[in-house]
Structure 1
Amino acid sequence: MARTRKLFAALTRRGRHQVLRGDLAFAGLPGIVYTPAAGFNLPGVAFGHDWLTDADHYVTTLEHLASWGIVAAAPNTERGLAPSVLNLAFDMGTTLDIITGVRLGPGEISVHPTKLGLVGHGLGGSAAVFAAAGLSGAGTGAPKAVAALFPAVTKPPAAQPAAALKVPGLVLSAPDDAISLRTDAQNLATAWTGSVLRVVSKAESAGLAEKRRFAGALGLPGSDRKTQKTTRALLTGFLLYHLTGDKDYREFADPEAVLPKTEALDPEAVPVTPEEQIIALLR
């Protein structure tokens, strides 16, 4: 446990790589990409944003992944009031095609087509599941790992494709998700046999998005640095294990492992009624 805590603490900080920023628009898709300054055959992920949240609200998270040697690209599409989770999923698949199909940066960066992952927050977390379902069985270019970070309730629900997924998954949940009508983490994890569900202590499900200083005035949830710090560590360790095969991070993918800043679900908890969920929504 002491060794895991040490690894976790290190993963809350930036890694050793210098980071470069690029623009996905050069390949015809609005979005951003962050890469280590150099490296061939790197792991890479497509990152999906939450509802009404553009990709620039995840810059520090994308930089964090790149600093640990993972190319991280985020399409900046489906940002309207009524986004399509299926369209965002398609754009995430396109993003993987882009980062594996071209040399990045000054020509000294490439992504290996068998070291790919899909990651998303809220709406993007559910889109990552749909994207994985669409790419499963594709051979080269299929994801090796998927992370749904505080996934949102969507239509159609992400639990439907998750039930057939064979790819390893990470699902993060906030402690109050059971009474929320906005998030679907626990239902998704139940349907997804190969997933690891972690409840992040004191997390706010919308808090991963950055730079939301005035969100409260607009009735939107704000940023939460503690949620961001813990989520980045849990996500990075999970990806390093599955995408690079680094066994030092095995426990980050082990459903039985107890990781810092997480808590277990209460197996004796009484199921929340729809009435209680509605009351919680109106608070």
Structure 2
Amino acid sequence: MARTPAPSISRPSLEYFDFKGPHRVASGRLDRAGLRGVVYTPVFGRGLPVVAFGHGWMQPVSRYTETFKFLASWGIVVVAPDTARGPIASHGGLALDLRNALAIAAAGRLGGGRVRVDPAKAGVMGHSIGGGAAVLAAGADPDIKAVVTVTAAETRPSAISAGARIMTPSLHLVGGDDDMAGEDIDADGAKIAALWGGPTQLRTMKGVGHLGLPEGTHWTTALMGSSGVTAAQKATRTLAAAFFLRHLDGQDQLADELDGKIKGTKVEDPEEVRAAARKH
């Protein structure tokens, strides 16, 4: 029987994601390509996975900088449109911008040609309405191979309905104290997970509100009654990086650990969400 290779920085186990990855990180703007937003990349790499990130309701993309840097340090190119920022933003428009951002990354020679993404390794991630928009983007583009949402909010058109038709693997993180998108298994993100068409995992984060992921301060903190939670940010970055590397970059050694215990989160059974919905 072949021996399983020992974990290494190029073949990490989950504990490696307690720290930033081995890559130095560069950043830039998408504006030159006609889309307002940012891009974070390793300083060098070929055939890299790429993830488009959807921001939360009225949140600037600058509030997710450390999350972008963390993913890029693990060899994942991140593109984040800074569009649809108004109070009555188009959810479908943000979903389209996520797809456009992926196309820009795939077509461009990032970092002066030192960075190239593999279009076959595309994923989406989003927070709040950006999570719902990420689902809509995946529903419209079968080339998107992995989806992560964080305290996702329902959208118009419906992300819950769209998710039921998506066979792509997904991970959904919901807050235990989310007054905006619902708490625990009553959350919009839990409903998305419950009806998801393909493989999915649902995790709750105890004591986390709707704005647990964004960094720093913003006037919407007072409006929504929640703010960043360091433990939630750490858990999200760990899970997202490992999940994307597993599903986009062939790091299958992470599969068992991604199904196990992760500090600050609890794995939930989507069937419980479906059962609760049937009672109402």
Deviation at 1:95, TM superposition (A): 0.3
Deviation at 1:262, TM superposition (A): 1.9
**Pairing of 1:191-230 with structure 2 (within 5 A):** 191-193=195-197, 194-212=199-217, 215-218=220-223, 220-230=225-235
Change (3 A) 1:180 1:149: closer
SS of 2:140 mapped into structure 1: helix
**Pairing of 1:90-239 with structure 2 (within 5 A):** 90-136=96-142, 142-176=143-177, 181=182, 183-193=187-197, 194-212=199-217, 215-218=220-223, 220-239=225-244
Q: For residue 263 of structure 2, what is the aligned residue in structure 1?
A: 260
SS of 1:21 mapped into structure 2: strand
Deviation at 1:210, TM superposition (A): 0.9
Comparing 188-197 with 109-118, which one deviates more in the overlay?
A: 188-197
Deviations 1:38-87 (A, max 9, x none): 01111101000000101111111001000000000100000001011100
Question: Do the aligned partners of 1:44 and 1:111 also contact (CA within 8 Å) in 2?
Answer: yes
Question: Do the aligned partners of 1:35 and 1:69 also contact (CA within 8 Å) in 2?
Answer: yes
TM-score by length of 2: 0.85
Question: Do the aligned partners of 2:80 and 2:98 also contact (CA within 8 Å) in 1?
Answer: yes
Deviation at 1:252, TM superposition (A): 5.2
Structure 2 residues not aligned, in runs of 5+: 1-6
Deviations 1:116-169 (A, max 9, x none): 101111111000000001112xxxxx1111111110122232111111101111
SS of 1:53 mapped into structure 2: coil
Deviation at 1:247, TM superposition (A): 2.0
Which residue identity lines up with residue 160 of structure 2 in the other structure?
A
SS of 2:245 mapped into structure 1: helix
Q: For residue 252 of structure 2, what is the aligned residue in structure 1?
A: 247
Deviation at 1:230, TM superposition (A): 0.9
Which residue identity lines up with residue 80 of structure 2 in the other structure?
A
Count how many residue pairs are aligned between Structure 1 and Structure 2: 264
Question: Do the aligned partners of 2:40 and 2:79 also contact (CA within 8 Å) in 1?
Answer: yes
Deviation at 1:184, TM superposition (A): 0.3
**Distance in structure 1 (CA, Å) of the matches to 2:83 and 2:272:** 41
% identical aligned pairs: 37
Q: For residue 280 of structure 1, what is the aligned residue in structure 2?
A: none
Comparing 6-15 with 161-170, which one deviates more in the overlay?
A: 6-15
Q: 1:41 aligns with which of 36, 47, 60?
A: 47
Change (3 A) 1:217 1:131: closer
Q: For residue 28 of structure 1, what is the aligned residue in structure 2?
A: 34
Structure 1 residues not aligned, in runs of 5+: 137-141, 273-283
Deviation at 1:198, TM superposition (A): 1.4
SS of 2:112 mapped into structure 1: coil
Deviation at 1:253, TM superposition (A): 4.9
**Distance in structure 2 (CA, Å) of the matches to 1:36 and 1:250:** 24
**Distance in structure 2 (CA, Å) of the matches to 1:185 and 1:219:** 17
SS of 1:74 mapped into structure 2: strand
Deviations 1:97-116 (A, max 9, x none): 00000110121100001011
Change (3 A) 1:113 1:213: closer
**Distance in structure 1 (CA, Å) of the matches to 2:123 and 2:181:** 28
TM-score by length of 1: 0.85
Question: Do the aligned partners of 1:213 and 1:223 also contact (CA within 8 Å) in 2?
Answer: no
**Pairing of 1:46-65 with structure 2 (within 5 A):** 46-65=52-71
